[in-house]
Structure 1
Amino acid sequence: IQLTSEQDFVMISTILTKLNNQLPDATISIDNVALECNSRRIMVDYTVYNLDSTNPLMAEVPIAIYADGNLIEQTLTVPPIPIGGSYSDTIFLTIPDEIPNDFTLKFVVDDTGNGTGIVTELDETNNEFSVSISMLVSPEFNLLDKILACNEGLKKGTFDFSHYEEIVKVDPDHVVHFFNSREEAQANQNPIPNTNHYVASSTPKEIFVRIEDENCYSITSFLLDTKNCPPTVYNAVTANDDGWNDFFFIRGLRDIFVNFKLSIYNRWGTLVWTGNNNTENWYGQATKGIQIGGNNLPDGTYYYVLDLNDPDYKTPLTGYVYLTR
C-alpha cells in the first residue's frame, strides 16, 4: 500500500480498525460441580460463551482444566458459537491423588494447555473461571471389638450392641446405623432396628456400620461370635409324666457341647445310665447295670459325671440329682 496523502493514511487506519473489531470473545463459566462421597471422580457442567463479540467463535476451541495450577485434563468446544451464543457440556474429571482435598478448579477456554491459544479475540484476559472445591471425605470412626455371647445351640446367639452407636463415633453429631450386609450399608437400606436384642441364627456373624456426617459416610464392621458358656444343671427329677421336671434337665448343653457324655451312677457307684447328644434325656430309667432294660429306678439320690469334651472345660462336671416319682 502506497500512501500519497494524509487522507490516505486515515482511510487505511479506518479499514484496519474495522477488520480488527471483527473478532470473537470467548468466555467460560463452571455451572455445577457434582461430588461423590469418598471418590476422586467429579462431574462438572460448564458453558462457553461468545457474548461481547463481533464475529462467531470457531469450532473446536481448546479448553484446559487445572487443579491448583496443575493441568489435569483438556477438551474442545464442538460447534461454532455464534455472536451472542453459548455452548454447554459436561465433563467427568478424576482428580489426581497428589492434589489435596481442598483445591481450586480452573477452566480456561482458548488454552492449549500451556497458556497459549489459537483464537484472536477482542479481549484476551477474560478466558478463565475458577471455583473452590472441597472433596467429600469419609468421616473418621473408632474401631469396634468382637462381641461374644453364650452359644444357644448350633452357634446361635443373642446380642446387645446398641452401645456401639456411641462408641464408634469420633464426632457426637455423626449418625450411625447397623446393617446385615455391606451392600445394604452402602445403599442405606434395611437398617437393623433391634440392636439391643439381636438374634444371630449362626455365628460368626459380621455386622456392618454406616457412620454419616452432613456430606459423606464411612463403613466399618465388627463380628458377633458365640462361646460355650457353662451349662446349668437342675438336679431334681420328678418322673411322673406331669410335664414338670420329668427328666434330668441341663440348660445350655444340647447342640452346644455336641460331644458331651453324661453318666448316671447310683449311691453305690454302679453305672445305671449313659447318654450323649444323640440319645434321649434321662427319665429315671436304667440302661446299664443290674436293672438294664428300661426299668424304672427307685427314688433316691443319684450322681452324675458330665464330660463336656470341650477344650475350655477339660475337667468333667460332677454332682448329684434327686429322683422321685
Structure 2
Amino acid sequence: VSCDAIPEATVLTATDNCNSEVTVVYLEEQTGQEEGCASEYTITRTWTVQDCAGNVTSHTQVITVEDNEAPELVSTLEDITIECDNVPEVPTLEFVDNCSPNVTQTSFEETSTFDGTDSDYTITRTWTVTDDCGNVAEFVQNITVTVKTSVTEIADSKCIDDGEINLNDYLANQSEEGTWEVTQGNVVLSEDGSFDPSNLSLGDYVFTYTSPNNGCLSSTIVTININDDCVVLPCGQEDVVISKAVTPNGDSWNEFFEITGVESCGFVANVKIFNRWGAKVFESNNYANDWNGVSDGSTFGGAKRLPAGTYYYIVILENSGLKPFTGAIYLGTK
C-alpha cells in the first residue's frame, strides 16, 4: 500500500470451546526502514490468543508500505504570454509530498528561443524535484514573449568634404550583436559601419541600427543630410569641453551638464541623454547648458528627478562639421 493509505488495525475477537472468555493480544512491528527513505517499510501485525490449557492460536498480517508517488506543486505556475520588457522574475516555488517530509529541488533550467529578431519567442523554465525515496517530478512553465522595439531617432547633416562618417559615433551603447542597415539612399557601408560621403549624391540618407536588449530590441534611426555647404571652421573637435559629472546640490559646482569651449562659434547643440538601459531621459534641440538631472518626461510620463548613476550622452553641434560627441556622465546628488 501507499504510505498514506495504511489501513487501521482490525480488532479481532476469539472464542474457545472450553473457556468462555479469552483475550486477544495484538502486536505490531515495523522493519526495513532505511535512513534515506523512511516512508518505505514493512508492518507485521500479529494477533495471538491462548486459552487456560495453553492452546495458542495466532493470525499474522504483513503490510508492505511503498512510496511511489512524486512530489506535487503547491504554488501556482501557469503558462503566460507577456511583452519582452515585462518578463517576470523566476518565482520561488513550494512543493509537497504525500509521504516524505523533505522535497529537494535538484535542478532549475531556463532556455530561450530569442533569435535577435522581432519574432515572438518562448522562455521555458523547468524545475526538477525529488522526495526522500527518489521519486522525481518535473514542472514546466512556458512564457510566450512578444518583442517590442524601442526606437531612437537622430538627425545630422554632413558636408561631402567632411571625410569618412562612422555611424557608430551616433550610438549611446554599441552591442556586439547589433547590425547597421541602409534604409534610404544608395550607399555602401563598410563592416565597421562607416562610409565616405565624397562621391555621394546630395540629400538625405537613412540608416537603422538594430540590437538585442534584454530580450527586446533597440533601434537607432540615423538620418544624415549630405550637403556641399562646407565651411572652414574656427573651432575644432579638441576645443569642445563636455561635463563629466553633474551634482545639483546647490554648492555652485557642477550644477549643470555643460558644453563649453566653442561659445564663439555659434553652434546650436542638439543633446540627448540616456540611462544605462538605453532609455532616453532628456532631449534638447537647442541646448542651453541647463540640464541638472531632471527627466523631461518623455520616458517617465512626467518630469522628475533622476536617480544617481551613470548616464550616456550624444551631443551634435549643428553645422559644425564635427563628429557627434558621445560619452558617459555621472549624475550625483551629494
Between Structure 1 and Structure 2, which shows a larger proportion of strand residues? 2
Same fold (TM over 0.5): no
TM-score, normalisation: structure 2: 0.31
Larger Rg: 1
TM-score, normalisation: structure 1: 0.32
